Amino acid sequence: MKVFQFPLARITLVFIAGILLAYFLKPILPIVLIVLFVIAIVFLTSFYLSKANRKYQLLFGVTAFLLAFSVGVTTQTLHTDSNRKNNYTHYKNIFDKKHSFTLTLREKLKSTIYNDRYIAIINSIDNQKATGRILLNINKDSLKHSFIISNQIKVNAILNKNTPQKNPNQFDYQKYLENKQIYAQLYAEPNDIQVSPEISKDIWYYTAEFRTRIIQNLQKSKFNNKELNVAVALIMGQQQDIDNDIIQDYQYAGAVHILSVSGLHIGCILLFITYLLKPFPNTRKGAFIKLLIILVSLFLFGVLAGLAPSVVRSVTMFSFVAIGQFLKRSVNIYHTLLVSILLILLFEPSFLFDVGFQLSYIALFFIVWLQPLMANLWQPKNKIINYFWDILTISFAAQIGTLPLSIYYFHQFPGLFFVTNIIVIPFLSIIMGLGCLVMIFASFNWVPFYPAKILEISIYYMDKIIGYIASLQQFIIKDIPLNTSLLISSYLVIITVIIAFQYKNFKSLICALIAIITLQLSAFYTKWEIQNQTEFIVLNSSKNTQLLERSGNNVKLYANDSILKNSESNKLLASYLTVNFCTLKEKAKLTNLIFYKGNKILLIDSSTVFPKNAHPNILILTQSPKINFDRLLQALKPKMVIVDASNYKSFQKKWKATCSQQKIPFHATREKGFYVVSPK
């Protein structure tokens, strides 16, 4: 591939490798800075040596890669908030008792049933200066308490660590928050919060106020609330108020990407701004003024949309496109992509671990690389047909590129994605143009009736079309398993097959065949690995006890009748089966005694009926049985006690203390998550 012939491409890959190393190994900052300093000196020395004598050029190349790698390590280490001395994670007893926190509200998130949620910046703890980001949950009550972005508040509360995933193969919310530099959550009642009369009037305050003014003016103009929430998401990147059913429809129809501002949206805005600036003269001074207006407009739009990874990436890339146009040079799109990646990750290396960021760049790369090849297969002369053919090839190129990664993360595939894109993109062009116009006027407290009405109707019919496509459930493929080795080998196949199609020579064909064989070997290895695995799992279920026994790719579920009858809609079970390439082969009602690989497992529930002479290896307590636990342990002498989340917290606390006294290992799934029973 020609893209890898660019030195910038190789440097970017090495830089990303440095970020990954620092992310997983978490090196100490002073050592990282010393290594960077030494490598920088060696790099400068090799640079001057290579200028004097060409035999040192290889040394210069190696040291350039080492420098890029060490810059990646340093960037990730410096931008990890927990490495800073005044970060709240280093505060003594921070998670053990109540503290007095002063916070600044930074971003409003989507609310839950019980809480309004914000990202907040810690200013001080117990009047001592501190830093760090937390997730603030404010309990909803009957009284409406209005908090605005950049409010400075004070609250006394206990800071809670992010809870790890409690069941196997679930979405790891703790890791997701940590990638955003959020290591804890705080829960507060509205009446316990003291709001400072002083507001930190920074860029976040003004952008939030700007968005609020636009939304309020549109609401006053009787813009339908449902369509307004979609418009705000499409144009300003704010998804907090969109109904979950609408989001699900967009996911099932393969159009969820348009709800988060991306390259498609920024491209439409760039074209719109360029059209408005046509009256400017084409002199050098006029072109420079136009460039400044475009760059400032794109930057302001990025801030307005909350600086999400997809927005930052798109704004950065199109800014380079605009600069290239001003310099009258043909902009190499690969260089544009690479420079935007480097710049973004230099300032926000955590974006590398954002799923949207990964999917956006892969989609863009495949559109740039694969779409022209697909478009050349047929070149219709009719402009309308050609327009829709371009939309179709762009959709297929993006979908082919993102398919393995989207299946890896979401385990589903919308079969009618191409139909959705053919219909939605023309709608989106109208909506983006009208939406920008309407919202500009709304920011000046005037909403033009006819453009606003056309915008509202366009969104209404777009939602209806997407809802209909999403209702065709038979075209949505769900629960598709894919592990890391299959993900990598799938991309090898896709890339080598495209290269073989592009160059049509023997060498590229051999590479494609090797990649296909690699994919097959990965599939065979995955199947062999699964067939040789067995495990017994106590799930963390708050209402009903659920136990899983797996042998190879066959799973047996132990539960009560209500769970067994509704096993098809059991989300805990579905995620486990999908990720582990398994099927549910057997269902069984919970019994007192279960035998697994030399382990005798005794289960005691609220009935407290069990064989008195069982002498189990493992004791499982469920449904809060009222028993004399101390006497029970002395009689049964178990080697391990497991308590699932169906038990009262007060009971668990007492049982834990008793086990500690008798030196018996104790595991509460409510605290530690699921438990895997090891074979004897």
Secondary structure in 3-state letters for 354-372: CHHHHHHHHHHHHHHHHHH
Q: How many CA atoms lie within 13 A of 40 on its CB side?
A: 9
Residue 4: its pLDDT value, please?
A: 57
CA 28 to CA 38: how far, in whole Å? 16
Q: Are residues 300 and 429 in the same domain?
A: yes
DSSP state of 476: E
Confirm whether 635 is domain-assigned.
yes
Confirm whether 357 is domain-assigned.
yes
Asked if 274 contacts 294 with a C-beta cutoff of 8 angstroms, the reply is: yes
Asked if 411 contacts 576 with a C-beta cutoff of 8 angstroms, the reply is: no
556 pLDDT band, cuts 50/70/90, is very high
Q: Are residues 72 and 149 in the same domain?
A: no
CATH number at residue 154: 2.40.50
Q: Are residues 245 and 313 in the same domain?
A: yes
Residue 183: its pLDDT value, please?
A: 93
Q: Are residues 172 and 218 in the same domain?
A: no
pLDDT in tens, 481-504: 999 999 999 999 999 999 999 888
Q: E strands within 410-453?
A: 412-414
Closest CA to 360 of 402, 395, 414, 305: 402
Last residue of a domain, one of 200, 231, 264: 200
Confirm whether 335 is domain-assigned.
yes
Last residue of a domain, one of 45, 78, 111: 78
Specify the number of domains making up the chain. 5
656 vs 201, more confident: 656
Q: What is the mean pLDDT of the chain?
A: 87
Q: Are residues 402 and 466 in the same domain?
A: yes
Last residue of a domain, one of 531, 549, 567: 531
Per the DSSP assignment, residues forming a β-bridge with 151 are 199
Q: Are residues 376 and 432 in the same domain?
A: yes
pLDDT (mean) for 184-209 = 85
Confirm whether 161 is domain-assigned.
yes
263 pLDDT band, cuts 50/70/90, is low
* One-character DSSP codes across 618-668: EEEE-S-----HHHHHHHH--SEEEE-TTS-HHHHHHHHHHHHHTT--EEE
Residue 305 pLDDT > 80? no
Residue 6 pLDDT > 80? no
Q: Are residues 242 and 217 in the same domain?
A: yes
Q: Are residues 305 and 335 in the same domain?
A: yes
Segments in 444-556 forming alpha helices (H)? 449-471, 484-503, 506-531
pLDDT (mean) for 147-161 = 90
Residue 307: its pLDDT value, please?
A: 66
Residue 586: its pLDDT value, please?
A: 92
pLDDT (mean) for 620-641 = 91
pLDDT (mean) for 399-427 = 87
Maximum distance among all alpha carbons in the chain? 96
Residue 308: its pLDDT value, please?
A: 65
Give me the phi and psi of 364, to 5 degrees please. -65, -45
User: From edge to edge, which strands make up the β-sheet containing 599-604?
Assistant: 593-596, 599-604, 618-621, 640-643, 666-668
CA 643 to CA 652: how far, in whole Å? 7
* One-character DSSP codes across 220-257: HTT--HHHHHHHHHHHH---TTS-HHHHHHHHHHT-GG
Residue 295 pLDDT > 90? no
Confirm whether 83 is domain-assigned.
no
A 10 A CB-CB count for 75 gives: 21
The structure tokens 């200066």 sit at 129
Residue 257: its pLDDT value, please?
A: 74
First to last CA, the chain: 52
Among the ranges given (261-275, 444-458, 542-556), the one the predictor scored with the smallest mean pLDDT? 261-275
Q: Are residues 539 and 527 in the same domain?
A: no
Asked if 372 contacts 390 with a C-beta cutoff of 8 angstroms, the reply is: no
pLDDT (mean) for 158-187 = 89
Residue 281: its pLDDT value, please?
A: 80
Q: Are residues 242 and 318 in the same domain?
A: yes
Residue 310: its pLDDT value, please?
A: 67
Identify the domain containing residue 145 by its residue range.
88-200
Q: Are residues 335 and 443 in the same domain?
A: yes
Confirm whether 670 is domain-assigned.
yes
Q: Are residues 220 and 293 in the same domain?
A: yes
pLDDT in tens, 48-100: 888 888 787 888 889 999 999 999 999 999 999 988 889 999 988 898 889 99
CATH number at residue 631: 3.60.15.10
Closest CA to 539 of 428, 677, 443, 429: 677
pLDDT above 70 covers a percentage of the chain that reads: 96
Confirm whether 434 is domain-assigned.
yes
pLDDT in tens, 7-35: 778 899 999 999 999 999 999 999 999 99
Confirm whether 356 is domain-assigned.
yes
Element (H, E) at 384: helix 383-410
Closest CA to 361 of 648, 11, 16: 16
CA 328 to CA 323: how far, in whole Å? 9
Query: How many angstroms separate the Cα of 411 from the Cα of each of 171, 226, 404, 476, 487?
Result: 12, 29, 9, 11, 12
